[in-house]
Amino acid sequence: MLLRELLEKLETIKVCADLDMHILGVSYDTRVIRTGEIFVAIRGYKHDGHKYIEEAVEKGVVCVICEEEPEISVPYILVKDSRIALSIVSAVWFKYPAKKVKIIGVTGTNGKTSVTYLIKHVLEKCSSKKVGLIGTNGNFIGDRELPSELTTPESFEVQKLLDKMVLENCEYVVMEASSHALHLHRVFGIEFDIGVFTNLTPEHLDFHETMEEYALAKSLLFKSCKNAIINIDDPFANTMLENCTGNVSTFAVNNNSAKFVGKDVKLFTDKTEFCVITVGEINRVEVNIPGLFTVYNALAAIAAVSIFEFEIENIITALKSSQGVKGRAEILYTGQDFTVLIDYAHTPDALRSIIKAAREFTRGKVITLFGCGGDRDKSKRSLMGEIAALLSDFVYITTDNPRTEEPADIIADILSGINESYTSYKSILSRHEAINTALAGLKSGDVLIIAGKGHETYQIIGEDKIDFDDREVVAEYFKNQRIQERKVSEEGLELSGKAWSLV
């Protein structure tokens, strides 16, 4: 592709390059750069791409897009915002794949992953078409899973994924749109067919600083949507509505003015039932995921898929066959008369929601085990401690992903929110040990919530990413328990045989 073709939609400040030069690729990461590519110098959390221009040139780039003039001799394009530039040239490079599929973006603090999975499942059932998904738990092209590191990848990866999905005949793409991705222009230039807002609670305030700024970042999605689906039970719904430029549809549980309203909610250990009331219709809905939050997630999915004019009866039938999402209110089979539940809850509101959900179906006590991530918003730690203590019968505080912080310091922050008069608690530094201790103490009818890591299969300690899966720890515990029970049984039989031989 010629440089002039790559820059056809880009606003430039200065062009110091031959516009007829051939460009063999686009890159923003010098670790994977190839000869003949153009290098886009973007500013990241820890690294500034402008400092790597010389390295990029040594590796064979033929031109640089940047916000400040390079210190070395190299053809370059000066722009105001290189992140926006990366989004634009990436779209051009892949020939605008977003225009070739129907795209649904889902934003909010909690529920993004569950809503995207529900929408994907329902669309596949209702349309019999292949659906792509980009999100926290992974990227999917139909049933084929691809790895993912970020909730919403960098703009080049987004366009690359969309291009793959187009080539593999996806008709729809459902995408989580994080506040970081929206603020940092990772989805800049994409016109979404539908944008969905789930809710907004304190999170990422180390990045956005205030809830107002956080809300404004989320609302950017609705400035580039043909249709908006808004949860009007949420206090920040107005911020989203004020920024909508397309058609608006609403859902709620507590506001009867919404287009889709959830009523007569019935919560069970393994499912949720409710009535969805919309214009001229009342339909009973059943979803195999426990908790009131499932009502909101299902309403969001119903409202979104309805935009594509599928019959609501078919949407509801499809919802009933959904099996939920790994790490989101995921119940582990243990063969015991108690419940072990894995959930990604890592914000105050998400923790509150999952504990309340467990409280509504438990016959015994609710035990909550959680930690907080290091190098992230510290303000939520004491609040999560307070919530867990107020709503649980017992709390285990342990590590999550401490990263470069001292695990004991993170636990101390959590403990600062716990009043000992609320409930009993215990802090155990080792997450493995904490889970085993919690499992050992469970009684009939109890529910153990292992919160915070959800789908993750690792822990980040310092700069190292080590294998760690809450599910595997639980499975290992019960495997060892069965081995021990078998050993005791065999020893009992052996002793019985010896006693018999003495008679």
CB within 8 Å of 220: residues ≥ 6 apart: 182, 183, 243
Rounded distance between C-alpha atoms, residue 156 and residue 88, angstroms: 9
- Inter-residue contact 52 to 30 (CB < 8 Å): yes
The answer to whether the CB of 230 falls within 8 A of the CB of 195 is no
126-175 per-position pLDDT tens digit:
999 999 999 988 899 999 998 666 556 899 999 999 999 999 999 999 99
> For the segment 243-295, what is each residue's pLDDT rounded down to a tens digit?
999 999 999 999 999 999 999 999 888 889 999 999 889 999 999 998 899 99
Helix (H) or strand (E) holding 401: none
Q: Is 76 exposed, middle or buried (0-12, 13-18, 19+ CB in 10 A)?
A: buried
Pairing of β 170-176 and β 447-451 = unpaired
Q: Average pLDDT for residues 212-219, to the nearest whole number?
A: 92
What is the DSSP annotation of 274-302? EEEEETTEEEEEEESS-STHHHHHHHHHH
Residue 208: what pLDDT?
A: 64
* Phi (first) and psi of residue 349, to 5 degrees: -70, -40
Q: Note the CATH number of domain 330-482.
A: 3.90.190.20
**3-93 against 97-320: fold identical:** no
What's the predicted TM-score (pTM) here? 0.83
What would the two tokens of residue 196 be? 């969905």
Contact 417, 384 (CB under 8 A): yes
pLDDT band at residue 476 using 50, 70 and 90 as cut-offs: very high
Confidence of residue 497 (pLDDT cuts 50, 70, 90): low
Write out the two tokens for 307.
């935009």
Q: Which of 308, 423, 326 is nearest to 368 (CA)?
A: 423
Cα 490 from Cα 486, distance rounded (Å)? 6
Percentage of the chain with pLDDT > 70? 95
Confidence of residue 500 (pLDDT cuts 50, 70, 90): very low
Quickly state the pLDDT bin for 494 (edges 50, 70, 90).
Answer: low
Which band of pLDDT confidence, cut at 50, 70 and 90, is reported for residue 465?
A: very high
User: What was the pLDDT predicted at 204?
Assistant: 64
Q: Which fold has domain 97-320?
A: UDP-N-acetylmuramoyl-L-alanine:D-glutamate ligase (3.40.1190)
The Cα-based distances of 121 to 76, 143, 303, 409, 411 in angstroms read 45, 10, 14, 42, 38
Q: Are the C-beta atoms of 259 and 249 separated by less than 8 Å? A: yes
Q: Does residue 199 contact residue 349 with C-beta atoms inside 8 Å? A: yes
Each residue of 103-118: b (16+ CB within 10 Å) or e?
A: bbbbbbbbbbbbbbbb
Q: What is the mean pLDDT of residues 448-468?
A: 95
Q: Name residue, tokens 């907080």.
A: 372
Q: Give the domain ranges of the chain.
A: 3-93, 97-320, 330-482
Residue 462 confidence (pLDDT) above 50? yes
**Helix, strand, or coil (residue 202):** coil
pLDDT score of 404 more than 90: yes
Q: Is the pLDDT of residue 501 over 60?
A: no
Least confident of 92-101, 176-185, 428-437, 492-501: 492-501
The top-level CATH class assigned to 3-93 is alpha beta
